[in-house]
Amino acid sequence: MKVTIYHNPRCSNSRGALALLRERGIEPTIVEYLHHPWDLAGLKALVQRTGEPLRALLRTKEAAYAELDLGNPARTEDELYAAVLAHPVLLNRPIVLTPKGALLCRPPERVLELL
């Protein structure tokens, strides 16, 4: 099974999802998205695969979230995408992709829904 994890090794949820995959003998493709950020088309495709709106995938506790006033419902999708492209840390993690779909795996056990 081909699995990709958009991962931040400093995040306990991300490390937990990766550990759960490995415990099941799955070595995923690991994308450290803070070092290899998306382009707009790639980010939109990822968000679309999750079935969630981008707003639902944002890290609301990041300083940039408040600084950019991203909690303001008047912010457009285009503004949200531009913010994530400029500040990839705003996207929550880990997001895991398998042939069954894509899912924000918080808590990490959600990864099991994709196996």
Structure tokens at 63: 């300083």
Confidence of residue 1 (pLDDT cuts 50, 70, 90): confident
Q: pLDDT (tens digit, 9 = 90+) per residue, 76-94? A: 999 999 999 999 999 999 9
Confidence of residue 19 (pLDDT cuts 50, 70, 90): very high
**Average pLDDT of the residues in 1-30:** 96
Q: pLDDT (tens digit, 9 = 90+) per residue, 30-58? A: 999 999 888 999 999 999 999 999 999 99
Active site residues: 11
Which domains, ranges and CATH numbers included, belong to the chain?
A: 1-33+93-115 (3.40.30.10)
pLDDT for 38 equals 87
Residue 98 pLDDT > 90:
yes
Q: Report the predicted TM-score, pTM, of the whole model to 2 decimal places.
A: 0.92
In whole angstroms, what is the distance from residue 101 CA to residue 26 CA? 16
